[in-house]
Structure 1
Amino acid sequence: MAESHHPMQRGDKSVAVNVRLKPVSASDQPILVNYTHVGLSDGLAYVDFGFLEPAFLSAVAIHAKQGDVTPKQVEGISRARVALPLDSAVRLYQQLQRVLVSLQPPKTKHS
Structure 2
Amino acid sequence: MTSNKESPTDPAALPDADVARPAPAVPQSVTVAVRLQPVEHSQQPVFSNFTTVQAGTGVVFIDFGFLEPQTIANLARLGQPGVTVPEAIGGTLACRMALSIDTVANLANQLNQLLRSAAAAQAQAAQGAAQSAEGAAAQQTH
TM-score interval, smaller chain: 0.7 to 0.9
**Structure possessing the higher radius of gyration over alpha carbons:** 2
Structure 1 residue runs without a partner (length 5+): 1-10
Q: Following superposition of structure 1 onto structure 2, how do residues 15-94 of structure 1 map, counting pairs within 5 Å?
A: 15-62=30-77, 64-94=79-109
The runs of at least 4 consecutive aligned structure 1 residues that moved more than 4 Å come to none
Local SS of the residue matching 1:16: coil
User: Secondary structure of 1:50's partner?
Assistant: strand
**Sequence identity percentage:** 36
Instruction: Tell me by how many angstroms 1:61 deviates.
Output: 2.6
TM-score by length of 2: 0.62
**Which structure dedicates a bigger proportion of its chain to strand?**
1
Structure 1: distance between partners of 2:31 and 2:78: 52
Q: CA deviation at 1:14?
A: 3.5
Unaligned runs of 5+ in 2: 1-25, 128-142
The alignment yields a C-alpha RMSD, in angstroms, of 1.9
Question: Whose helix fraction is larger, Structure 1's or Structure 2's?
Answer: 2
1:5 — aligned with what?
Answer: none
Confirm or deny that 1:95 pairs with 2:110: yes
- CA deviation profile, 1:28-77 (whole Å, cap 9, x unmatched): 11111111011111110110000011112212433542432120210110
Q: 1:58 and 1:23, CA in 2 relative to 1: closer, same or farther beyond 3 A?
A: same
SS of residue matched to 2:31: strand
Q: State how far apart, in whole Å, the 1-side matches of 2:115 and 2:27 are.
A: 27
Within 1, Cα distance between the matches of 2:60 and 2:103? 9
